[in-house]
A and B are shown apart, each in its own frame.
Chain A
Amino acid sequence: MSKAYPMPSLGAGMEAGTVVEWHVQPGQRVSRGDVVGVVDTEKGAIEIEIWEDAEVAEIVAAPGSRVPVGEPLLLLKETESTADQVVEEVWDEPSPDTPPAEEPHRRLRVSPVARKRAKELNLELDTLHGSGPGGAITLSDVETAAQEMDREGLPPSGAPEPVAEQDESGPDSGVDRHAAMRRAIATAMTRSKREIPHYYLVHTFSLESTLHWLGQTNRDRSPSRRLLLAALYLKAVARAVKNFPEFNGFWEDEAFSRAEGVHPGMAISLRGGGLVAPAIHDADTRSLEALTEAVRDVVHRSRAGLLRGSEVADPTITVTSLGERGVDAVFGVIYPPQVAIVGIGSVAERPWAEGGMVGSRRVVTVTLAADHRASDGHRGALFLEHVAQRLQSPEDL
């Protein structure tokens, strides 16, 4: 039994990725979580992971090939440990003659070699006319379409389309990467502002006790063991959403679905423009030390263009911090299909009234932009207050 390992969707709006390299070869055994290769997307080169124990049977997509999301990259052979389970699943499948009950649209009939060639030529299969048996798109249909494009003065066969999402530039092509990333951000943010009814809440509070604790904690620590304030923010948000699950998940198919884990995406600006928001996995249960290390690692890899697929695809809520750029507050744009983004402003020293006295305090302004379809302002306010409270007791984070 072999099954396909498809091109993963590494975030909303991703249509295809280009295989950069494989770290595996046919016959090699892989375990759940192994990085098997690198795929280039508008977000940079992403390391993709495998989600089951298996053996690599065949590499379907050679390095350099551009593969649409959902199309096979590898063929996997189930290893013995999973074989029994798979057999059962196979028996449960409807016979090939029975159409699946809820297939949204008919699967395009494309011969394997035609599919391969179309990929090489960068042709959209669903624009082609199929002349083969049962209307299947054949190799000659693809070749003919490519020739017609030539005649119409479009790019010659095999050349990458210079426009839109058809970017085939390699991982080294910084300019195209940058342009592609801008387009991806444009697509996601436009969709967000078009579809998501945002509401915004602002909460300013003293961070004095938090920073004091952080300073004390870090004072005697060697640099590599020091905690980052960002880790505290992430942990506070992550633990807060455990109590407010309506902010941790996705709005899909006209309904909210809760995410199982808490994987806040951390917005990281890239030098030279653009940003990514890779997930810090299970931030609610990890220690501040572990989170600091995760943040440092992910920032480094984001900028080096070496993120993993699960990091890019998994965020369940976003945390953005323009903290060191001198602005008081940031009102985020939700990254669909997520439903909330927490914005953290700069820590600033301000006059602060407390218990009838005005003094100087270091304060921070935290905002929430949330999807009104999934939650209401009242809960949003409680959530923000909860985040603030958690930050007041950093020793319990």
Chain B
Amino acid sequence: MTEPSQDRVRTGIRDAFRRIAPEVDLESIDPSANLREEADLDSVDALNLIVLLDENLGVEIPESDYDQITTLADMRRYLTARIPGG
């Protein structure tokens, strides 16, 4: 079921951002722009984000894949493809 997976990924990302950068409005972020620059995330935020995505969605993103999730759209795509039960 593709639809629920996408929803779960969106919810999981939104929840993670609410906890590390609550003032960031994900809707207003250009999905094709560099996410760390757009959301002003430093390396600590980035690691916290990866940890929360793992907790929320059960997807462990290895460091070597970081370059595959540089934009919001990439991140959604990456997670949707790997979310368990998706």
In the complex, are there CB atoms of A and B closer than 8 Å?
A: yes
Residues of A whose CB lies within 8 Å of any CB of B are 215, 218-219, 222-224, 226, 228-230, 269, 271-272, 292, 295-296, 299-300, 303, 323-324
Minimal beta-carbon separation of B17 from chain A (angstroms):
12
Which residues from B are CB-within-8-Å of A299?
42, 44-45, 48
Evaluate contact between A219 and B23: CB separation under 8 angstroms. no
Evaluate contact between A218 and B63: CB separation under 8 angstroms. yes
Tell whether A324 pairs with B42 under 8 Å between CB atoms, given A222-B54, A223-B47, A300-B48: yes
B62 at the interface (CB under 8 A from A): yes
B32 at the interface (CB under 8 A from A): no
Which residues from A are CB-within-8-Å of B21?
271, 303
Which of A230, A272, A303 is the one whose CB lies under 8 Å from B43?
A230
Which of A218, A222, A230 is the one whose CB lies under 8 Å from B44?
A230
Give the nearest-CB partner of B55 in chain A.
A224
Evaluate contact between B60 and A226: CB separation under 8 angstroms. no
Evaluate contact between B47 and A228: CB separation under 8 angstroms. yes
Which residues from A are CB-within-8-Å of B47?
223, 226, 228, 292, 296
Interface mask (B15-56 → A, CB under 8 Å = 1, otherwise 0): 000011101000000000000100010111101101101100
Minimal beta-carbon separation of A188 from chain B (angstroms):
22
Evaluate contact between A271 and B54: CB separation under 8 angstroms. no
B2 at the interface (CB under 8 A from A): no
Q: Which of A219, A292, A300, A324 has the most CB of B within 10 A?
A: A324
Evaluate contact between B60 and A223: CB separation under 8 angstroms. yes
How many residues on chain B are close to A (CB under 8 Å)?
Answer: 21
Evaluate contact between B63 and A296: CB separation under 8 angstroms. no
Distance between Cα atoms of A38 and B41 in the complex (Å): 27
Q: Work out how many contacts link A and B, with CB atoms closer than 8 A.
A: 51
Which residues from A are CB-within-8-Å of B19?
300
Which residues from A are CB-within-8-Å of B42?
269, 299, 323-324
Give the nearest-CB partner of B40 in chain A.
A271
Which residues from A are CB-within-8-Å of B60?
222-223
Interface mask (B59-72 → A, CB under 8 Å = 1, otherwise 0): 01111100000000
Give the nearest-CB partner of B48 in chain A.
A296
Distance between Cα atoms of A324 and B19 in the complex (Å): 21
Give the nearest-CB partner of A214 in chain B.
B63
Which residues from B are CB-within-8-Å of A218?
63
Evaluate contact between B62 and A229: CB separation under 8 angstroms. no
Shortest 8 CB-CB distances between A and B: which pairs? A299-B44, A223-B50, A223-B51, A223-B54, A224-B51, A218-B63, A324-B42, A271-B23
Distance between Cα atoms of A296 and B63 in the complex (Å): 17
Q: Which of B21, B42, B54, B64 has the most CB of A within 10 A?
A: B42
Which residues from A are CB-within-8-Å of B54?
222-224
Which residues from B are CB-within-8-Å of A215?
63-64
Distance between Cα atoms of A272 and B24 in the complex (Å): 11
Minimal beta-carbon separation of A319 from chain B (angstroms):
13
Q: A224-B51, A229-B43, A296-B48 are in contact. List 9 more A-B contacts (CB 8 A).
A: A218-B63, A219-B64, A222-B60, A223-B60, A228-B47, A271-B21, A300-B19, A323-B42, A323-B43
Distance between Cα atoms of A224 and B49 in the complex (Å): 10
Minimal beta-carbon separation of B13 from chain A (angstroms):
15
Which residues from B are CB-within-8-Å of A223?
47, 50-51, 53-54, 60-61
7 example contacts (A-B, Cβ-Cβ < 8 A) are as follows A218-B63, A219-B64, A222-B54, A229-B43, A292-B47, A299-B42, A303-B21
Evaluate contact between A300 and B23: CB separation under 8 angstroms. no
